[in-house]
Amino acid sequence: MSQGVTSTEVFAQRMARTREAMAERGIDVLLLSVGLDLPWLAGYHAMPLERLTMLVVPREAPATLVIPRLEAPRVVERPEIFSMLPWNETDDPIALTARLVTSVGARTVAVGDQMWARFLVDLLAHLPTVSWVRSVEVLGPLRMRKDDAEIAALRAAGAAVDRIAAQLQAGEIPLVGRTEAQVSADLSARILAEGHDVVNFAIVAAGENAASPHHHPGSRVIRDGEIVLCDFGGTMNGYCSDITRCVHIGTPPADLAAAYAVLLEAQQTSVASAVVGTPCERVDAAARDVIAAAGWGEYFVHRTGHGIGMDAHEDPYIVSGNTLPLAAGHAFSVEPGIYVPGRWGMRLEDIVVASDDGPDPMNRVNHELVIV
Ligand code: ZN
Ligand code: ZN
Ligand code: ZN
Choose one of 142, 163, 188: the last residue of a domain: 142
Q: Are residues 184 and 256 in the same domain?
A: yes
Give distance in angstroms: CA of 287 to centre of ligand 2. 16
Q: How many domains does the chain have?
A: 2
CA 24 to chain centre: 26
DSSP type of residue 213:
T
Q: Are residues 121 and 208 in the same domain?
A: no
Give distance in angstroms: CA of 50 to centre of ligand 1. 29
Q: Are residues 121 and 185 in the same domain?
A: no
Q: Are residues 186 and 95 in the same domain?
A: no
Choose one of 100, 117, 142: the last residue of a domain: 142
* Per-residue tens of pLDDT for the chain, all 372 residues: 444 567 889 999 999 999 999 999 999 999 999 999 999 999 999 988 899 999 999 999 999 999 999 999 999 989 999 999 999 999 999 999 999 999 999 999 999 999 999 999 999 999 999 999 999 999 999 999 999 999 999 999 999 999 999 999 999 999 999 999 999 999 999 999 999 999 999 999 999 999 999 999 999 999 999 999 999 999 999 999 999 999 999 999 999 999 999 999 999 999 999 999 999 999 999 999 999 999 999 999 999 999 999 999 999 999 999 999 999 999 999 999 999 999 999 999 999 999 999 999 999 999 999 999
Choose one of 142, 174, 199: the last residue of a domain: 142
pLDDT of residue 5: 63
Determine contact, residues 32/55, Cβ cutoff 8 Å: yes
Give distance in angstroms: CA of 161 to centre of ligand 3. 13
Give distance in angstroms: CA of 242 to centre of ligand 2. 5
Q: Are residues 68 and 39 in the same domain?
A: yes
Q: Are residues 136 and 183 in the same domain?
A: no
Q: Are residues 104 and 158 in the same domain?
A: no
Give distance in angstroms: CA of 69 to centre of ligand 3. 38
Give distance in angstroms: CA of 246 to centre of ligand 2. 12
Domain of 73 in residue numbering reads as: 3-142
pLDDT of residue 274: 98
Q: Are residues 165 and 62 in the same domain?
A: no
Give distance in angstroms: CA of 270 to centre of ligand 2. 16
In angstroms, the CA 355 to CA 365 distance is: 20
Q: C-alpha distances in angstroms, 139 versus 113, 370, 371?
A: 11, 41, 44
Amino acid at 273: S
pLDDT of residue 2: 44
pLDDT of residue 47: 87
Q: Which helix (H) or strand (E) holds 64?
A: strand 63-68
CATH code (residue 162) = 3.90.230.10
Give distance in angstroms: CA of 307 to centre of ligand 3. 8
Determine contact, residues 232/158, Cβ cutoff 8 Å: no
Ligand nearest to the CA of 351: 3
Give distance in angstroms: CA of 284 to centre of ligand 1. 15
pLDDT of residue 49: 87
Q: Which helix (H) or strand (E) holds 289?
A: helix 280-293
Three-state DSSP at 293 gives helix
Give distance in angstroms: CA of 335 to centre of ligand 3. 7
Q: Are residues 93 and 159 in the same domain?
A: no
pLDDT of residue 7: 85
Q: Are residues 25 and 162 in the same domain?
A: no
CATH code (residue 96) = 3.40.350.10
Q: Are residues 212 and 340 in the same domain?
A: yes
The residue count of the chain comes to 372
Q: Are residues 182 and 240 in the same domain?
A: yes
Give distance in angstroms: CA of 305 to centre of ligand 3. 6
